[in-house]
Amino acid sequence: MEEAYRVQRAAIEAWGDEIAGWKVGATSYEIQKLFGITECVYGPVFKKSVFSSPARLPAADFQHLLLESEFAFRFGRDLAARSTPYALQEVLDSVDVLFPAFEIVSPRFPRLTIDDIPQLVADFCANGGAILGSPFTSWKGHDLSSHRVELRIGGKLRQAGTGASVIGNPLNALEWLVNVLSAQGVSIGRGQFVMTGTTTGLHAPTRDQSAMADFGKFGKVEVVFT
């Protein structure tokens, strides 16, 4: 895994695009057991692959059409790397909005390599893009662990879940990533966001089939691949 993250960092330098945010993966304890790991993984999300909902995207632009419904958090001020860990409240004080979001899971390899996690990590943790719904500002104080998210594809309910699917609470994944990056000397900049892991599993709409994740009071995120 150490080598995988070295490759990831080298690929970031060579990619030629700005980091708009970060994704956290393997945020289910069951998935971690399947992967043979004991903590989450992470990768960059690049600026040119961030889209606003409702989105209509060319299917040909992506190697795979796989979606995860995720809570995403945007930072309203810089969070500088430092030698001591950040407490959760410090992290929350730096976040301004919550987005309902889709992660587009689209590895550069022909298949999703769940049997080779270092390869997946090196490949930007399989991130192919992000679709962000409308920003929601008054999210603090809500119990995200019990908050329900419903994924519909082609108008039919495909899967429902809650924030508890994300290692107990999406904020746990957010705090984890901030401190992992900080320990490596990586700051999170104002305007960058963090996608915290799927609440509704991994699903593949077909071409021209609508996909919509309903986050209730937090809003919706929608996409069609054409």
pLDDT in tens, 72-102: 999 999 999 999 999 999 999 999 999 999 9
Residues 6 or more apart whose CB falls under 8 angstroms from that of 159 comprise 150, 151, 200, 201, 203
pLDDT at 172: 97
CATH superfamily of 2-225: Fumarylacetoacetase-like, C-terminal domain (3.90.850.10)
Look up the pTM and report it.
Answer: 0.96
**Alpha-carbon separation of residue 187 from 49, 69, 123, 214 (angstroms):** 21, 26, 21, 31
Average of per-residue pLDDT across 183-193: 97
Please determine, for residue 5, whether its predicted confidence score (pLDDT) is greater than 90.
yes
pLDDT at 30: 86
Average of per-residue pLDDT across 175-204: 97
pLDDT at 56: 98
pLDDT at 115: 73
Within the chain, residue ranges assigned H as helices are 2-15, 29-35, 88-94, 117-122, 170-183
**Pairing mode of beta strands 19-25, 193-198:** parallel
Please determine, for residue 61, whether its predicted confidence score (pLDDT) is greater than 80.
yes
**Alpha-carbon separation of residue 73 from 96, 139, 212 (angstroms):** 8, 10, 19
Res. 197 pLDDT band, cuts 50 70 90: very high
